[in-house]
Amino acid sequence: MPDGRHTEGPTEKCGVVGVSLDGRDAARPLYYALYALQHRGQESAGIVTHDGFQQHSHVEMGLVGDAFEEGDLDSLNGSTGIGHVRYPTAGSVDSSCAQPFSVSFKSGSLGLSHNGNLVNADEVRTELAESGHAFTSDGDTEVIAHDLARNLLEADLVRAVKRTMSRIHGSYALTITHDDTVLGLRDPQGNRPLCIGKLDDGYIITSESAAIDVLDGDLVRDVRPGELVVLGPDGDGFDSYQLVEQENTAHCFFEHVYFARPDSRIDGNLVYDVRRELGRKLWEESGVETDVVLPVPDSGRAFASGYAEAAQEDDADVEFAEGLMKNRYVGRTFIMPTQDARERAVRLKLNPIRDVVEGKTVTVIDDSIVRGTTSTQLVELLNDVGAEAVHMRIGAPAIVAPCYMGIDMASREELIAAGKDTDDIREEIDAASLSYLSIDAIAEALDESRADLCLGCVTGEYPYDIDGESTDRDVVRPTIDGAQAGVASDDD
């Protein structure tokens, strides 16, 4: 089994959006939607629009607020368009992978915003390169764009998308422009979220419903796994094509645990409710009576409130207190390149309030432990300010394997839980006790069966066919030639 990250090209843990409006320019609504999706990516931001004649594009490195000036938005003409925010990966920052990816082919202009990660991009890229396609980036999104452009020369839009779906394998939630038509596409197992919203004067497709809220729209529904949604040109509706059907989904549970905004509704669940429910289950499974329950802000907050509420309902004498203060101006600790810098960043980011903690037993609640930097530092900090005992409770199972589906996790050797049992980890972070949540609790809180979730990072078994890893289901990775032949007879 290979160790470490094994993605092909940079991972794309991102936010996507697409709108089609009746007459009004799409640029500003897209810009506001990208603000709502900023938590999904801070490395780059971009918008592509189409005015019926030509495509316009503006893509910059940096946060949404820095990437666009008033004039940039003014020059993005057209009432249809897509937008993208890109997640910072631990590797090099490379503007060639900033999105939306846009290009003009004989078959028209295309813009693509991608969240997720293909696991067979290298194969498809090689095959396309051999037939004369020139690539400008090593990202998997460009692979989708070239494949789709080629298929559009021979087939109508829906069939072309279907052919592309039969060649690419992995996780993708996409918004696409083909000239002034906006599409939304979710991979057959629906790994990353994607939903449809109704605006006053049009429709929106986006990663999270919070982006619909900021435009005062209404969530219509999630895009179904394997479904293509085509927005009408004047924002007058949408068509749906169920292009691929699979028995099981592979929804990423980690979206609910960590990644998505708590105010978003994903696959039928409000993320905030899920996190509180997971907190309640954490109490049921491994509650420990202490004087104080402390959330790690902000990631552990909803879990901790559910945990404390369930504890109080059981007449446990525990107090819920915001005893850790977060400095919002320190970036995500996670992406700091060295361990030393990461530790310093945790110290800068989280400061305990001595008066809340001194002389007390405390339970610290966070959503997840990845490398263990945050928990190790927190236990030490809380002991330093006089805690009598520090118990850690985590609202997710132990993360034991990398994510190939687009979440920037860590390599196997960096994951504190890889190859260890809970007591080893407890010892390493020096906590009085440590408990994770069970996988069953996650499935129950999401009201899904285990077979419908992607649990790769907590089981080491993936719902996609990844080189060198094992799968937890019957998945068939497309073979390039065979898949093409197969599609020709399966085109309708």
CB of 399 to ligand AMP, least distance (A): 8
- Find out whether 224 and 190 touch, Cβ atoms under 8 Å: yes
User: Which region holds residue 107: left if phi is over 0, alpha if psi is between -120 and 50, else beta?
Assistant: alpha
- Find out whether 243 and 230 touch, Cβ atoms under 8 Å: no
Distance of CA 319 to the CA centre of its chain: 33
Judge residue 439's burial from the number of C-beta atoms within 10 Å of its C-beta, 0-12 exposed, 13-18 middle, 19 or more buried: middle
Nearer to ligand AMP, 357 or 369 (CB): 369
The torsion of the CA quartet 151, 48, 102, 51, rounded to 10 degrees, works out to: 60
CB atoms within 10 A of CB 353: 14
| Preceding omega of 297 cis (within 30 degrees of 0) | no
Rounded to 5 degrees, what angle do the CA atoms 70, 84, 412 make?
A: 140
Report the C-alpha gap between 237 and 177 in whole angstroms. 16
**Which residues in this chain contact ligand AMP in the complex, by CB under 6 A?**
258, 296, 299, 332, 334, 366-375, 407-409
CB of 25 to ligand AMP, least distance (A): 34
> H or E segment at 273?
helix 271-286
Report the C-alpha gap between 485 and 159 in whole angstroms. 14
CB of 429 to ligand AMP, least distance (A): 9
User: What are residue 33's phi and psi, to 5 degrees?
Assistant: -65, -40
Nearer to ligand AMP, 252 or 407 (CB): 407
Report the C-alpha gap between 210 and 198 in whole angstroms. 13
CB of 397 to ligand AMP, least distance (A): 13
CB of 425 to ligand AMP, least distance (A): 10
| Preceding omega of 298 cis (within 30 degrees of 0) | yes
Nearer to ligand AMP, 21 or 364 (CB): 364
Which one of the listed residues 14, 97, 252, 403 is annotated catalytic?
Answer: 14
CB of 415 to ligand AMP, least distance (A): 9
Report the C-alpha gap between 466 and 470 in whole angstroms. 7
Look at strands 453-454 and 251-252 and give their pairing.
Answer: parallel
Nearer to ligand AMP, 32 or 334 (CB): 334
Q: What is the DSSP letter of 329?
A: T
Report the C-alpha gap between 190 and 249 in whole angstroms. 6
Nearer to ligand AMP, 241 or 334 (CB): 334
Instruction: Please indicate whether residue 454 is annotated as part of the active site.
Output: no
Nearer to ligand AMP, 148 or 392 (CB): 392
CB of 300 to ligand AMP, least distance (A): 7
First to last CA, the chain: 39
Nearer to ligand AMP, 260 or 357 (CB): 260
- Residues with a catalytic annotation lie at 14
